[in-house]
Amino acid sequence: MVTSTYTLGCMYGRNKHKGTTEREDEKKENELKGDHPTGKRWRKRIQSSKKKGCPATLTVKEVVRFPQFKVDTHSKFACVERSKDLRKAIQNGEHLEAERRFYISFPSDEAHNNIHQTGTLTGFLNPINKDVKEKIHELVGHGVQNVQEMKRHLKIYVETVLFPDPQTRPATTHAGFYPHEQTLRNHMYVAVMALRYEPIL
C-alpha cells in the first residue's frame, strides 16, 4: 500500500496582494484626510467579492492498494517483508493490480477563523451570472428602469429559461442568479451608460 497526502488551501485562496491592498487603502485614506484632497476617481465596485486569506485547508489522502501483496498478519515484520517484495516487483517491471482510493478531509467551520461567511450564507458572495447580466442589459434596453420590476423579470427568466427543473434550480440566496438590489441597481446603471453611447443605426 502506498499513501500520499496533499494539503490544499481553502477555495478562497491566499491573499497574495494583501500588502499592496493595505498600502493602497492607507494612501487613499491619507489623501482624503489632507487639506487638499486630489480629484482622483476611485474605481466603483459593482459587486462585493469573496475575501481571500482564509487559513482553512482541505486534505486529500491518496492510497494505492496492491491486492497481490496483501498482508495476512499485521505484524511489523510481515509488513516490512511484503513492502520489500512490492518494491522488487516494481523495479522488475512486473504487471501489478492496483486499487486507487482518495480520502478527503474537509475543514470545520471554526477553521476559517470567521474571515468570511460559511455554509448557505456564502451564496450571497457569488458573482453575478453572465447570462443574468446580459439579461439585465437586454431588459434595460427594453425600458425596464425599476429595480423591483427588474427582480421580477429576472426571477421569471431564471426559473423558466435557465432552470426550468426545480431540482437543479439554485437557492434564492445564490447572488449569481438572484442579485441583491444594490447589485441590480449598479448593473442597470452600467447598462444605461452603455446604451447611451451605442451608435444609432
Write out the DSSP string of 91-126. Answer: HTT-----EEEEEEEPPPGGGGTTSS--GGGGGGGP
- CA torsion through residues 170, 172, 176, 154, sign: positive
Q: What average pLDDT does this structure show over 164-169?
A: 90
Q: Answer yes or no: pTM beyond 0.85.
A: no
pLDDT value at 131 more than 80: yes
Three-state DSSP class for residue 162: helix
pLDDT of residue 121: 47
pLDDT value at 85 more than 70: yes
What is the biggest distance separating any 2 CA atoms in the chain, rounded to whole angstroms?
A: 85
Highest mean pLDDT among 28-37, 73-82, 89-98, 128-137: 128-137
For residue 64, give the H/E element and its range.
strand 57-65
Residue 125: domain span: 121-196
Choice between 187 and 110, residue whose per-residue pLDDT is larger: 187
58 within a domain of the structure (yes/no): no
66 within a domain of the structure (yes/no): no
158 within a domain of the structure (yes/no): yes
114 within a domain of the structure (yes/no): no
191 within a domain of the structure (yes/no): yes
- In the chain, how many domains are there? 1
154 within a domain of the structure (yes/no): yes
178 within a domain of the structure (yes/no): yes
Share of the chain above pLDDT 70, in %: 68
141 within a domain of the structure (yes/no): yes
53: left (phi over 0), alpha (psi -120 to 50) or beta: left
Share of the chain above pLDDT 90, in %: 16
